[in-house]
Amino acid sequence: MLAETSETTTVDTPSAKKVATRDAYGEALVELGREREDLVVLDADLSGSTRTKGFSKAFPERFFNMGVAEANMMGTAAGLAAMGKTVFASSFAMFAAGKAWEQIRQSICIPQLDVKICASHAGLTVGEDGKSHQMLEDLTIMGVLPHMTVIVPADAVEARGAVRAAADLDGPVYVRLSRAPTPVVLPQEHRFEVGKATTLRDGSDLAIVACGVEVGAALDAAALLTADGIEARVINMATIKPLDEELLRRAAVECGAVLTAEEHQVRGGLGSAVSDLLARTSPVPMDMVGVEDTFGESGRAEELLVRFGLDAASLATRARALMERKS
């Protein structure tokens, strides 16, 4: 069972194995396909990369390759959902969210249809493909849409649970998935619940609220901060919309400072959502770590995280500066 907002899940990351969340997505789809005959999967000619290929082999009669036509794919997904199907539509995040935004708004979100957009290759960790493929704005443009639920799993364990939860949830869902293998930071028994965050490490000096690949970095940063006598609470905010408002307000009150971390533009994503809430309810000193109004670059995933200040050491530096403001 997922930890309730009053509980803490203890994790240990140094020896964690690495698995891409897109791999967990592909495995979860095949499992769901065996359980649910209403499940249909669409892909935009990228099934090998998005990991829908396994579903296509297991259930060819329920898989449709729509070609390089993402807008058309979303329209078709809407039509299938209107006929009672639960539809998963996949492509790279740049194409799924960026190229098809109008169709998602008009054909999926307005009628509140049961379409789950699972977008792989999001964020800087796309790596060598560079700025043309490093989608850093998807949380903004998906999160602003009424009726859209937005999920960013921390690791492969949570990705599997998020896919299952999306299938059971009525209405549109956007799930952001990674290309690069990332540390598995959650225990196998972890169960994802939409709208519920998980406290992975307790602390009362400040709260680090992270999503996606930054959850592992936040845990490592908290370990670094202990050398300075700073005990950081680490919160995995896997659901960006709706936020776990109760947990966030309590963290702000109990810790007195909040640092957010995301592999996304700092404006319009997790940091903006958290600051919007706390400004209205529990204002405390805050800082937001993310990409600062620029595009990505080509390079290895790990190098890019360091380059853009999203590694553990950089998060720890920002946390120390925030503690000085709190004092």
Asked whether residue 10 carries a pLDDT value surpassing 60, the answer given is no
DSSP state of 226: G
Residue closest to 118 by CA, chosen among 73, 82, 67: 73
Q: What pLDDT is recorded for position 8? A: 56
The DSSP element (H or E) to which 76 belongs, if any, is: helix 70-82
DSSP states along 92-149:
EHIIIIIITHHHIIIIIITTT--EEEEEESBSGGGGGG-TTT-B-SHHHHHHTSTT-E
Residue closest to 123 by CA, chosen among 263, 262, 229, 8: 263
Asked whether residue 11 carries a pLDDT value surpassing 60, the answer given is no
Output the pTM of the full model.
Answer: 0.94
The DSSP element (H or E) to which 302 belongs, if any, is: helix 301-307
Q: How confident is the model at residue 6 (pLDDT cuts 50, 70, 90)?
A: very low
Please tell me whether residue 260 adopts helix, strand or coil conformation. strand
CA angle 162, 109, 62 (to 5 degrees): 60
Among residues 7, 70, 102, 292, which one is catalytic? Answer: 70
Asked whether residue 16 carries a pLDDT value surpassing 80, the answer given is no
Q: What pLDDT is recorded for position 14? A: 43
If one compares 283 and 17, the residue with the highest pLDDT of the two is: 283
Provide the token pair at 76: 């078709």
Residues 6+ apart with CB under 8 A from 232: 201, 203, 205, 206, 207, 208, 218, 221, 222, 225, 319
Percent of the chain residues past pLDDT 70, beyond the cut: 95
* Over residues 223-228, mean pLDDT: 97
pLDDT in tens, 66-93: 999 999 999 999 999 999 999 999 999 9
Please tell me whether residue 63 adopts helix, strand or coil conformation. strand
pLDDT in tens, 173-202: 999 999 999 999 999 999 999 999 999 999
CA distance 10 to 239: 20
CB 230 within 8 A of CB 281: no
Percent of the chain residues past pLDDT 90, beyond the cut: 94
* Over residues 117-130, mean pLDDT: 96
- Residue 299: how many other CB atoms lie within 10 Å: 15
Is 70 among the residues known to form the active site? yes
Asked whether residue 5 carries a pLDDT value surpassing 90, the answer given is no
Q: How confident is the model at residue 327 (pLDDT cuts 50, 70, 90)?
A: confident
* Over residues 236-241, mean pLDDT: 98
Asked whether residue 291 carries a pLDDT value surpassing 90, the answer given is yes
CA distance 116 to 104: 11
pLDDT in tens, 269-288: 999 999 999 999 999 999 99
Q: How confident is the model at residue 7 (pLDDT cuts 50, 70, 90)?
A: very low
* Over residues 288-306, mean pLDDT: 96
Domains of the chain, start order:
18-183 (3.40.50.970), 198-326 (3.40.50.920)
Residue closest to 115 by CA, chosen among 103, 126, 124: 103
Burial class (CB in 10 A: 0-12, 13-18, 19+), 91: buried
CB 177 within 8 A of CB 23: no
